[in-house]
Structure 1
Amino acid sequence: MTLPVALSGHDVIGQAKTGTGKTLGFGLPIIDRVRVLADVDAGRSTAAELPSAPQALVVVPTRELCTQVTNDLQTAGKVRNVRVLAIYGGRAYEPQVEALQKGVDVVVGTPGRLLDLARQRKLDLSAVRCLVLDEADEMLDLGFLPDVEKIMTMLPAKRQTMLFSATMPGQVISLARRYMSRPTHIRAAAPDDHGATVAAVTQHVFRAHSLDKVELVSRILQAEGRGLAMIFCRTKRTAADVADQLTQRGFAAGAVHGDLGQGAREQALRAFRNGKVDVLVCTDVAARGIDVEGVTHVMNYQCPEDEKTYLHRIGRTGRAGASGTAVTLVDWDDIPRWALINKALNLGLAEPEETYSTSPHLFELLHIAPGTKGVLPRADRTRAGLGAEAVEDLGEPGGGRKSADRGAAGRGGRDGSRGDSRRPAASDAPAEETRPRRER
């Protein structure tokens, strides 16, 4: 539905459920529109007309989504040899700057790093003919709107702008009105699919006790026909803790959350895609756009913040026509929040059943073999695990030295000098009486 409109150069607002292929909805028009060497060889363009600066810009909210979109565009643009570059934080600047100097056709990036490089005049946005905002509503939620607006002011006024997301709140529409010219709003849905969620996903909601959740999850992970599984937590600490506990119970688990370095985040996702790890415990940083084949179960370890988060989380399964299972565990104090989500999405699951790891209905509904315990039997521990996937050295800014340097700053630097050279000498320091000590 999007391709005819986008290929003709019109502005587009694309809205479709998660897992329905939005990436190629904007990816194919971009690959078709950029002028590359293949056009010179075919006589459609001259060498002088080929710009050295990027011709298309895709702005995404998270680093994981950035690498995924880049890989998809590289695959789709292989025949035309379109040069696609991912620009995001947590990596060294130098390789990204070098790639830009060599010449790039399409840039995919997160707002912060894009703005950094544009301000340093390393990224030239004057030749951009096509702008895409992917997961536009998430950028609003993460507070990226000011950065996105600054990026937009650096772009040529005459360009094609496309906005894509599964949910479209009013702010996104007002952003569209301000920066787009007569956009076509396209909503794609299957004729028999009336609900807000994908029909192929079976949803279960249980009221569970926080002390019993890991045991409960361990049993669900041994359900019949379970492939890859994703477990979503609300906080980084919970995600790290659940991943550790599942690893101790024999499951091949990895974690993705904001407290991990970029190398560790990419290691866990790579291991998950390659099948070395079959359980990925993550915060909402991985709830958007992450597309891994074979995810059969998604679990909300903690109740999501709102209905949008719920939609994006469970959208990691049942993608591209496959079926999946979504399990949400609701604490007693989260019942009012769940009631709001249920009402907004009209799920008909207002009263979650009280459930424990030994409840017969849990085993029956999720097809768990009777007698299953919360520890994975040794015979079933066939995955290589997270340790089998190498951690790539990304040259992260300050990577690996942060804690060491912070300690050095307090104790004294590596050369034996004090950590902070700006601190006045003892003779210059004001008398203690003039600066009273603040009591806690």
Structure 2
Amino acid sequence: MTSFSELKINKSILKVLDEIGFEHPTPIQEKAIPIIKSGMDVVGVAQTGTGKTAAYLLPIFSKLVKAEGEDPRVLILVPTRELAIQVGEDIEELTPYSNIRHAAVFGGVGWTKHAALIEPGIDILVATPGRLRDLYHANAVSLKKIKTLVIDEADRMLDMGFMPQIRQLLEIIPVKRQNLLFSATFNEKVEVMTHEFLDFPERVEVSPSATPAQLVKQSYYKVPNFKTKLNLIRHWLEDEEVFSRVLIFVRTKEHAEKVFKVIKRKTEGEKRILHSNKGQNARMNAIQAFKDGELRILISTDVSARGLDVSMITHVINFDLPQRYEDYVHRIGRTARANNHGEAIALIDPAEEYHLVKIEEVIRMKVEEKAIPDEVVIEPTGKAEAQEQSREIDRQKKMDDPTFQGAFHEKKRKPPVERKDGKNLAKQRKKHKRKRR
């Protein structure tokens, strides 16, 4: 196997890698690092948990060598505050023997605090597009010295509608620069972005786009309704030894609160919620506690599907399936990180079977079905939930076949009955009733 020293990584960085136990580069690191060091533009495609952050950070450290000047020379754009913080922490961890300076800036915090971080001078700036715009318009940061632009999680960047901000940014930063684009998936939008922003890039792909990490064991359970899903999760979480650090993904804030309410009363260990209504400090504290092992169960919407780098997550449970199918890959990529094994479980109600089929097409593999344990109580499906499922199934069928008429299609009104003299009988009857009143 290739070693980091063979990739000609700086000695100070090699010392750190040795101390934290990184002996050999991952496939994406092995392929990307030499190309990035050569100065070429690079498109890196690899599933989450494969070390792609270090794949661009390590050669960047080799190029920067030491602190220099006041303005940033490297700009790393990320889609979310969680990922900004994570990348910032990765830089911190890898540079204890270097004087390279960095700052991570993101929304949810007053921009003046971030301006104060930048003012003494930095070499690497990690930023979300919105906060970067705030700082630039306030003249708190200069981008004239940027030599390397990294766009991380490019697919999510596009899904969140950041393309206009990125285009504006490219009008500001120097034209002569190296561009690095990294993504867990490579769809048509990312390909268009690649052609627009990069000059003859070298594509590095260690596995087909949207392929789950190999060490993740995947399975699903067909579950009739919401209450039975809760019963099944509660049954699993009784086993604290096996389910020792669990990340539960839900589709909505309302589902997150309902799951939390049941789990809080019925299971052992500290548990918390992550969703957009939670304050910035609460979210950051929850993520840190989860990393430190103080938190056993974290319930989250997709806000934390990226940038949550916790190496010892034993299980990812998809309480609801994501309807953006690539997000399934990002969700389950939270487990089986850093060469650890992990398990990803999906709970599928009748309206989600359609989405499971689509997900299997995206990941190009079948997910194993398992039977609900006998000890779990299977609740009857209520009328309102059954109707909601039926409506969703009808909608799915119409998507595949626009001519499909389901149980909830809009019924055609019968044409009014006309008399021989051409008058509408229904109108005549209503008029007659009003006269009688």
Q: TM-score, normalised by structure 2?
A: 0.75
2: distance between equivalents of 1:161 and 1:357? Answer: 55
Instruction: Work out whether 1:138 is the aligned partner of 2:156.
Output: yes
Within 5 Å, give how 1:46-125 maps onto structure 2: 50-125=68-143
Verify the 8 A CA contact 2:111 2:131 in the aligned structure 1: no
Note the residue ranges of structure 2 that are not aligned, 5 or more in a row: 1-30, 378-437
What letter corresponds to residue 8 of structure 1 in structure 2?
A: S
Verify the 8 A CA contact 1:227 1:278 in the aligned structure 2: yes
Verify the 8 A CA contact 2:325 2:359 in the aligned structure 1: yes
Quote the offset at 1:240 in angstroms: 2.6
Quote the offset at 1:221 in angstroms: 2.0
1:225 matched residue in structure 2: 242
Verify the 8 A CA contact 2:326 2:362 in the aligned structure 1: no
Q: SS of the residue aligned with 1:358?
A: coil
Quote the offset at 1:343 in angstroms: 2.7
Mark the CA change 1:195 to 1:168 in structure 2 (over 3 Å): closer, same or farther: closer
Verify the 8 A CA contact 2:219 2:345 in the aligned structure 1: yes
Quote the offset at 1:135 in angstroms: 0.5
Instruction: Work out whether 1:341 is the aligned partner of 2:341.
Output: no
Instruction: Work out whether 1:240 is the aligned partner of 2:257.
Output: yes
2: distance between equivalents of 1:115 and 1:129? Answer: 19
Verify the 8 A CA contact 1:51 1:127 in the aligned structure 2: no
Quote the offset at 1:76 in angstroms: 1.3
Q: TM-score, normalised by structure 1?
A: 0.74
1:3 matched residue in structure 2: 33
2: distance between equivalents of 1:153 and 1:239? Answer: 41
Mark the CA change 1:149 to 1:238 in structure 2 (over 3 Å): closer, same or farther: same
The equivalent position to 1:202 in structure 2, one of 217, 225, 229, is: 217
Verify the 8 A CA contact 1:231 1:300 in the aligned structure 2: yes
Verify the 8 A CA contact 1:212 1:357 in the aligned structure 2: no
Verify the 8 A CA contact 1:212 1:356 in the aligned structure 2: no
1: distance between equivalents of 2:111 and 2:279? Answer: 16
Verify the 8 A CA contact 2:47 2:209 in the aligned structure 1: no
Quote the offset at 1:339 in angstroms: 1.7
Aligned length: 345
What letter corresponds to residue 290 of structure 1 in structure 2?
A: L
What letter corresponds to residue 36 of structure 2 in structure 1?
A: A
Query: Following superposition, which runs of at least 4 residues in structure 1 exceed 6 angstroms of deviation?
Result: none
1: distance between equivalents of 2:313 and 2:374? Answer: 23
Q: Deviations over 1:260-298 (max 9, x none)?
A: 110110011111112221111011111113110210100
2: distance between equivalents of 1:73 and 1:287? Answer: 20
Verify the 8 A CA contact 1:60 1:133 in the aligned structure 2: yes
Verify the 8 A CA contact 1:87 1:110 in the aligned structure 2: yes
Verify the 8 A CA contact 2:317 2:345 in the aligned structure 1: yes
Q: Deviations over 1:125-183 (max 9, x none)?
A: 11111110111000111111111222222110000110011101111121111111111
2: distance between equivalents of 1:201 and 1:35? Answer: 37
Mark the CA change 1:181 to 1:195 in structure 2 (over 3 Å): closer, same or farther: closer
1:274 matched residue in structure 2: 292
Verify the 8 A CA contact 1:74 1:82 in the aligned structure 2: no
2: distance between equivalents of 1:97 and 1:349? Answer: 48
1: distance between equivalents of 2:217 and 2:267? Answer: 27
1: distance between equivalents of 2:209 and 2:100? Answer: 38
Identical aligned pairs, as a percentage? 34
What letter corresponds to residue 210 of structure 1 in structure 2?
A: F
1:21 matched residue in structure 2: 51
Mark the CA change 1:98 to 1:289 in structure 2 (over 3 Å): closer, same or farther: closer
2:232 matched residue in structure 1: 216
Mark the CA change 1:276 to 1:141 in structure 2 (over 3 Å): closer, same or farther: same
Note the residue ranges of structure 1 that are not aligned, 5 or more in a row: 38-49, 361-440
Instruction: Work out whether 1:285 is the aligned partner of 2:315.
Output: no
Over the aligned positions, Cα root-mean-square deviation in angstroms equals: 2.1
1: distance between equivalents of 2:352 and 2:143? Answer: 46
Verify the 8 A CA contact 2:45 2:209 in the aligned structure 1: no
Quote the offset at 1:306 in angstroms: 3.2
1: distance between equivalents of 2:295 and 2:137? Answer: 40
1: distance between equivalents of 2:131 and 2:261? Answer: 32
2: distance between equivalents of 1:15 and 1:188? Answer: 7
2: distance between equivalents of 1:248 and 1:153? Answer: 54
What letter corresponds to residue 136 of structure 1 in structure 2?
A: A
Q: SS of the residue aligned with 1:186?
A: strand
Verify the 8 A CA contact 2:248 2:319 in the aligned structure 1: yes
The equivalent position to 1:296 in structure 2, one of 314, 321, 324, is: 314
2:340 matched residue in structure 1: 322
2: distance between equivalents of 1:241 and 1:197? Answer: 29
Larger radius of gyration between Structure 1 and Structure 2: 2
2:180 matched residue in structure 1: 162
Verify the 8 A CA contact 1:86 1:108 in the aligned structure 2: yes
Verify the 8 A CA contact 1:215 1:357 in the aligned structure 2: no
2: distance between equivalents of 1:195 and 1:166? Answer: 7
